Structure 1
């Protein structure tokens, strides 16, 4: 997907107090930086940040870190934060492949993956955020009792994700559904993303899985 470049987006992000500039320097020191020992939850590919901010309002006792690689998208989240000023939210403008360079072993308690790029061509499968390559990366910094929560409307990507988890010797599928909004147990307390609202409004069923080790 081609994203429109927004002039000045990088400068706004660089000057935002919510965007961490040198996150590699915080590896193993995140709780010191955040000033508390609260759990750390991250959303990889957070888009405009509404999901993360809604969670942060509901759970001030949790630290939320949003990861978004595109400045033109992250800019929208920064603009929202200038209005809301949630103290338990921070942003990183990085490629998700570098996450093990930023978080130390057991430093993250939960990973959210929402409507990730499906990378539909087979030769790009390793770039999918639920691929075995990325599962191996998450294993390097997710706490022993941590978990991954993944949502998508893309049935092929969901099937791929289930297969990657089920074929892993480390990961376990805790729960899954191909119709989240009609699954009373899994939909309880569900926070919708912008994409989730858009896709469900046109009749696309939402898939969700929860995985742990």
Structure 2
């Protein structure tokens, strides 16, 4: 999806370099230095306008959060929300989250969130889906043993693909919800902007899984 360029975005990002990283390769293995406290580190790949990552940080001050987004205009909107929140346990990263193993050291991340990722519906594009084995191998490397992956989508096809992908890779499922908002799993659920807008049109699917510890 093409996002309209925001003329103010670049300047705003430069003015708030204490909250956003634009050269993440310099932080490999040192992300905790960006935060006031050294705490468990959880990341979201593809943050949209930032509602999820900011609200998670607000609800969980005992955790440090990193939100990754490649589109400057999108992450600038999220940054503005972060600045207004005054939170100190969340940082943003302007980069492509496809190769997280180049951004984080081995076992540096405690949990990873994938919210409403691009479904890439054509079969020939399956390898671009963020739940494909191409990406799972990177997640396995940076996540701590038994580190969690949480995946949410409103796309039934992508959800079914992700279930099969995770299962074939050998992940252990902790929770699987076919209608998150009408299930016990909705307690404590933090919605994204997209989720708020489209949940009335159909069910939200969610799964939580982790890599078997013996693989590390």
Task: Give the TM-score taking structure 1 as reference length.
Answer: 0.94
Counterpart CA distance in 2 for 1:48 and 1:211 is 25
Structure 2 partner of 1:53: 54
Structure 1 partner of 2:85: 84
**Within 5 Å, which residues of 2 pair with 1:21-100?**
21-100=22-101
CA-to-partner distance for each residue in 1:5-58, whole Å, 9 max, x for gaps? 222322322332211132212211222343433000101101111111111111
Counterpart CA distance in 2 for 1:9 and 1:35 is 26
Counterpart CA distance in 1 for 2:11 and 2:97 is 21
1:153: Cα distance to partner?
Answer: 0.3
CA-to-partner distance for each residue in 1:108-133, whole Å, 9 max, x for gaps? 00001111111111221111111111
Q: Contact between 2:36 and 2:89, CA under 8 Å: does it hold in 1?
A: no
Q: Determine if the alignment matches structure 1 residue 151 to structure 2 residue 152.
A: yes
1:143: Cα distance to partner?
Answer: 0.5
CA-to-partner distance for each residue in 1:134-170, whole Å, 9 max, x for gaps? 111101100102100000000000011001011113x
Unmatched segments (≥5 aa) in structure 2: 212-216
SS at match of 1:176: strand
Counterpart CA distance in 1 for 2:10 and 2:183 is 41
Structure 2 partner of 1:191: 190
Unmatched segments (≥5 aa) in structure 1: none
1:75: Cα distance to partner?
Answer: 1.1
Structure 2 partner of 1:4: 4
Q: Contact between 1:14 and 1:21, CA under 8 Å: does it hold in 2?
A: no
Counterpart CA distance in 1 for 2:83 and 2:27 is 24
- Which piece of structure 1 moves more, 31-40 or 155-164? 31-40
CA-to-partner distance for each residue in 1:50-104, whole Å, 9 max, x for gaps? 1111111111111010001101111111111221121011000111123111110
Task: Give the TM-score taking structure 2 as reference length.
Answer: 0.92
Question: What is the root-mean-square deviation in Å for CA atoms of aligned residues?
Answer: 1.3
Counterpart CA distance in 2 for 1:30 and 1:97 is 18
Question: In the comparison of the two structures, how many residue pairs are matched?
Answer: 210
